[in-house]
Amino acid sequence: MPGPLILTLRRIAVLPTGDIPPEFSAGEEGDTDNNTIEITFTLDVFSPTTDYLSGFALTQNAVPMTITAGDRQTDHSIIHLTVTEDVDIDDDIDVSYDDDLGDIEAESDGTDMADIASSQTTNYVGSHHYHDEEWASGHLAHL
């Protein structure tokens, strides 16, 4: 008579080991000022040439915008794009990225960021009152 059958089950976990590109997570305008579009990615990003402008395109109500600067922030998953146009509360702002024109990559392993199809940003113009500007502050007086 044969002995007991013994089964050993092993769980194997496959963890990602690189080659994960940063992806567009969110875009918004109006939080910094009316000429700055903030783009957030799923990973920290890096540009070997420190060029955080090339490859991006923005439209305001379907009209191309002029981007004058691109700056990575202290939180490396955020880039600020500065535009010449003023954005107001009724504007629709879309962002896209062409990997053939830009050189942004994952900071962790150098994987190139893929193209971003035209994606709408969130418009916060006029929705925040930080009261940190003289025009927005209110003063109460006790007489």
Tens-digit pLDDT profile for residues 90-124: 899 999 999 999 999 999 999 999 999 999 988 88
The answer to the question of residue 130 being in a domain is no
Q: Which domain holds residue 98?
A: 24-124
Tell me the pLDDT band of 88, cut-offs 50, 70 and 90: confident
> Which residue is associated with the tokens 């202290």?
74
- Please give the average per-residue pLDDT across 64-85, as a whole number: 95
Q: Give the whole-angstrom CA distance, residue 109 versus residue 99.
A: 17
- Domain holding 75: CATH number? 2.60.40.1220
The answer to the question of residue 35 being in a domain is yes
Residues 8-59 pLDDT 10s: 555 554 445 568 889 888 888 776 788 899 999 999 999 999 999 999 999 9
- 141 compared with 2, residue with greater pLDDT: 2
Among the listed residues 39, 17, 49, 22, the one whose alpha carbon sits nearest the alpha carbon of residue 112: 22
pLDDT at 123: 83
Domain count, the chain: 1
In this structure, the strands spanning 24-29 and 122-123 are parallel
Q: Give the whole-angstrom CA distance, residue 67 versus residue 21.
A: 24
Residues 6 or more apart whose CB falls under 8 angstroms from that of 66 comprise 83, 84, 85
The answer to the question of residue 131 being in a domain is no
Q: Give the whole-angstrom CA distance, residue 101 versus residue 64.
A: 17
